[in-house]
Amino acid sequence: MRQDYIQRTYNPKNTDLVAEYFIEAAKGFTLPEVANAVAGESSIDTWTDIKTLNPALAKRLKPHVFYIQGNIVKIAYNHELFEPGSVAQILSSIAGNILSMKMVKNIKLLDFHLPKLFVSSFLGPLFGIEGIRKVLKVPKRPLIGTIVKPKTGLTPKEHATVAYNSWLGGLDLVKDDENLTNQGFNPFKERVKQTLRARDIVEKATKERKAYMANITAGTTEEMIKRAEYVKSLGGRYVMVDIITSGWTALQSLRIANKKLKLILHGHRCMHSAITRNEKHGISMLAIAKLTRLVGFDQLHTGTIIGKMEGKRREILDIDYEMEHQNVEENNINRVLRQKWYDLKSLMPVASGGIQPCMIPELYANFGNDIIMQFGGGVHAHPDGTLAGASAAREALTATLKKIPLKEHAKNHPELMAALKKWG
Amino acid sequence: MRQDYIQRTYNPKNTDLVAEYFIEAAKGFTLPEVANAVAGESSIDTWTDIKTLNPALAKRLKPHVFYIQGNIVKIAYNHELFEPGSVAQILSSIAGNILSMKMVKNIKLLDFHLPKLFVSSFLGPLFGIEGIRKVLKVPKRPLIGTIVKPKTGLTPKEHATVAYNSWLGGLDLVKDDENLTNQGFNPFKERVKQTLRARDIVEKATKERKAYMANITAGTTEEMIKRAEYVKSLGGRYVMVDIITSGWTALQSLRIANKKLKLILHGHRCMHSAITRNEKHGISMLAIAKLTRLVGFDQLHTGTIIGKMEGKRREILDIDYEMEHQNVEENNINRVLRQKWYDLKSLMPVASGGIQPCMIPELYANFGNDIIMQFGGGVHAHPDGTLAGASAAREALTATLKKIPLKEHAKNHPELMAALKKWG
């Protein structure tokens, strides 16, 4: 006989960690049976009764399944089950073996609520939205940027030229693509050197702050941090990491190194869809975003709603809200748990993937000011090239902020007109 | 117009990296259209034509979709697109954004073939199966072990006592559970100290080598490596890491630190099912296992076939074969690509999760000698406790190796008899 962890009258303590799951039972099992087994497997139990349980500790540490409605199950865990400051250990518990159990047909971690002790055991973002705005001297409007395209295949010099034109045309940010790290045709150091040199020139010319997000994703933690140090040594203000393919333990190390480096950390989420895309199984993007804020990245891709990558409107807006606020209320319709962030700074959402300048009014309507809009092909596929594409984006943003229709604004801005002809 | 990357007559070069996908097109797209877009997005292209492409480089680096059969697509990539020695960069390319594309309904990376240059850019296992056998002085038979149960909730002293009884009863290996790292009720250092002390006592008593796999999973790479150093300083021979929740970049750092530490690295795969379980979307366990061998773990959980965790027989056997051999042939029925391992050592498969001693004949029939059988509840839920449970497992193994039916062997071995009564 397994223990019985179901206690619908249980009221989670302020110190409990609460996890919310979507669960479908495998054939032959009821949902309460499976919820009970999941609660045990994710905490103190195994598939059969064991002789080694210390009854006092077992009583203190036992999980409580306190909510079962439809396919939604909420489990409260004693905080002692978790190691403060370790994303890996939290995931190994609440999103580990339980995803493999034969008793579950599908299971997805939808959200988790962390008590103060745990939130405060992480560093959180060093800059947050406010800090990023101070660095870039852009107090209110959305930030606009581009990914250097093609994704791979440019030399450092060509790369720096694309960046130069992007900034000069009016963009704030230029970033490497997720699969460009340190390849022979475009070595990391040479690329960073040339691109930051281009940045300095454009900053002088435009009197605007410009930033380059160099992709420091690397094989080892040490190499990743070395690349960040190199960026810093050349006056860079930003680095970017492919957070999912690199993994949480390396990210937490980078965040500690960043106490000294003081770089803005940009998180690219490529491969997240291996985990998040299935609606019934895996881990939600909301959970990934919360972990990213805990670790202490400053920016994170969360979706565009309207671009080339999958992502539902309501879910993306809930994620962005969670990243930007200090107090999140429970929402049983959207499956969001309450969460206080105890002064951990905010995490800037990034919309990236298949968007172009003519979408700016819609992006702004969806996301407001606190968003980074990143255009890749949407800049470099402009009929007149990158400079014109960047200019079209900046003008589209200016028009949008002034509530002028793009078509009207375009009359005096040929780059925007050309963009409208192609994409409008 | 996108580029056309489909070239069915293309014969992959020896230096190409080949990826094999299951792909379902989203509504409105054909499979070749989607395969073409996937090839571009994972290499040099984006969603629209761009002005920044360097024609010579684009020609050299362009991907080739050379196989489309049913839902299976194979793409050959120029090796220059990848950074040697970086798991993160490879995944960001061949299992990154493409999993998020709206054009794909489902996509799963089934396997990848790495050319020599890339295989040789990784360290691979330090010990491999042969090396593990030398350390443990067990030249041929399966290794048997247990996970200390309950998963969490024991004090260091209780933990060490469970380990002591497990070894004394006849098991080779004792390991921590995946969610036990460094909690207040069982701090890492005290646990390791007491458990290794128990190991020393049992080794003297039994004249057998015994090993403790301490879970060094931690919040940061540095802390993980510190924990490994601590284990080494007390004479430990093994450490264990939750590889998926920790992440590849930290694992590669650990492997480098392990050049000096020379510990056997045990990989627990909890959370892999977030990525691997969906048959149509994500990344296969075969691909995860290959990456684990490249990084250089010595042991990896791959499934039991018959225990509490999901996993199909044929797939598990294919994974184990890949981990153990130097040359793997292409198998278009099982969806396995050819792979040479260029002298990288083998990776020992571990069967763990809901198995008990009476399953040993079946486990042996399935896996042969090169397997670690890990019993958790199957040892500690024995009616007479851990010592008896461990003894039952060892006797069941002895009987199996001698081809004696368990029921017959049990006549003179009451612990096995009791196990058979409960589970047989």
Beta-bridge mates of residue A283: A109
In chain B, whose CA is at the least distance from the CA of A250?
Answer: B250
pTM above threshold 0.90:
yes
The conformational region for residue B112 under phi > 0 = left, psi -120 to 50 = alpha, else beta, is beta
> Cα separation of A75 and A20, whole Å?
7
pLDDT of B52 reads 79
Q: How far does the CA of residue B46 sit from the closest CA of chain A (Å)?
A: 6
CB A261 within 8 A of CB A229: yes
Q: Enumerate residues 246 to 305 of chain B having a beta carbon within 8 A of any beta carbon in chain A.
A: 246-253, 256, 268, 270-275, 277-278, 281-283
Task: Note whether A234 contacts B: Cβ–Cβ < 8 A.
Answer: no
DSSP B263: P
Residue contacts between A and B (CB atoms, under 8 Å): 365
In this predicted model, what pLDDT tens digit does every residue of A288-338 receive, in sequence order? 999 999 999 999 999 999 988 888 999 999 999 999 999 999 998 899 999
What's the pLDDT at A421?
97
| pLDDT tens, position by position, A169-195 | 999 999 999 999 999 999 999 999 999
- Angle B248-261/B221-233 helices, nearest 10 degrees? 30
Residue A369 has pLDDT above 60, yes or no: yes
Give pLDDT < 50 ranges for chain B. Answer: 1
Gap from A264 CA to chain B (nearest CA, Å)? 19
Instruction: Assess whether pLDDT exceeds 50 at residue A1.
Output: no
**Contact criterion met (CB < 8 Å) for B95 and A354:** no
Residue B313 gets the label, from left (phi > 0), alpha (psi -120 to 50) or beta, of alpha
Neighbours of B280 (CB within 10 A): 13
Distance from CA of B377 to the nearest CA of A (A): 6
Q: Is the pLDDT of residue A210 over 50?
A: yes
Q: What pLDDT, on a 0 to 100 scale, did the predictor assign at position B2?
A: 61
A69 band by pLDDT with thresholds 50, 70 and 90:
very high
Which residues in chain B have their CB less than 8 angstroms from residue A99's CB?
Answer: 271-274, 277
Collapsing DSSP to helix, strand or coil, B110 comes out as strand
Residues 6+ apart with CB under 8 A from A356: A375, A377, A378, A379, A381, A419, A423, B48
Pairwise CA distance, residues A124 & A121, whole Å: 9
Of the candidates B297, B322, B288, B245, the residue with the CA atom closest to the CA atom of residue B108: B288
Q: Do A99 and B246 touch (CB under 8 A)?
A: no
What average pLDDT does the structure give for chain B?
Answer: 96
**Position A50 confidence tier, pLDDT thresholds 50, 70, 90:** confident
Asked if the C-beta of A205 comes within 8 angstroms of chain B's C-beta atoms, the answer is no
Domains and CATH numbers, chain B: 17-119 (3.30.70.150), 128-423 (3.20.20.110)
CB-CB neighbors (< 8 A) of A247 in chain B? 88, 246-251
User: Which tokens belong to B183?
Assistant: 């909690």
Mean residue pLDDT across chain A: 96
Task: Considering only the beta carbons, identify the residue of B100, B148, B246 that sits closest to A248.
Answer: B246
Q: Which of A199, A152, A158, A194 is nearest to A176 (CA)?
A: A152
- In tens, the pLDDT along A19-37 reads 999 999 999 999 999 999 9
Interface membership of B378 toward A (CB under 8 Å):
yes
Inform me whether the pLDDT recorded for A265 exceeds 50. Answer: yes
Q: Closest approach of chain A CAs to the CA of B199, in angstroms?
A: 18
Q: Which residues of A touch B91 (CB under 8 A)?
A: 242, 245, 271
